[in-house]
Amino acid sequence: MRTPEPLGRADLPAEVESVPLARRYVRDLLDRLDHKQTDDALLLVSELFTNAVRHSDSGRHPDGRVSVAVAVANHDGTLHIDVIDAGSTGQAPRICPDVDPDSGGGRGLWLVQELSTAWGWYETPTGRVVWFQLSKT
């Protein structure tokens, strides 16, 4: 995939109450594109933002922030979304090996794996980025 064209970035408080704000921000950007995977994108943003609040240093500090960056590849419409947080020493993103469909948690990265075209994560000097892609088809 070529370098995607940035559509926007939102920097929000690392609080569970910010999850709907992140979702609304992404929805507003994607409504302009008429992207076919908008519902999946919103679900995955919700999951990753919640994970960032619960499991990263961003959520452990009163002034912590989590960012959502959205981009799209002009050549094929592939959506690329980053969720950026302060990272967590000694704890890396991982898919729970025994996902319980009736559980209230533990399915976030499993859903990302199942619904996205591609996903991953990497460390930065200031934290961590967890990203996913969704093709337009």
So what's the pLDDT on residue 106? Answer: 62
Maximal C-alpha separation, the chain:
41
Residues 6+ apart with CB under 8 A from 35: 41, 72, 77, 79, 134, 136
In the three-class reduction of DSSP (H, G, I as helix; E, B as strand; rest coil), residue 109 is classed as helix
Range(s) of the domain holding residue 79: 5-134
At 77, the pLDDT band (50, 70, 90 cuts) reads confident
Which amino acid would we find at residue 100? Answer: D
C-alpha 4/C-alpha 27 separation (Å) is 18
Greater confidence (92 vs 124) lies with 124
C-alpha 109/C-alpha 93 separation (Å) is 8
In the three-class reduction of DSSP (H, G, I as helix; E, B as strand; rest coil), residue 27 is classed as helix
So what's the pLDDT on residue 99? Answer: 62
Domain CATH for 102:
3.30.565.10
pLDDT in tens, 17-67: 999 999 999 999 999 888 889 999 999 999 999 999 999 999 999 999 999
Q: How many domains does the chain have?
A: 1
C-alpha 30/C-alpha 33 separation (Å) is 5
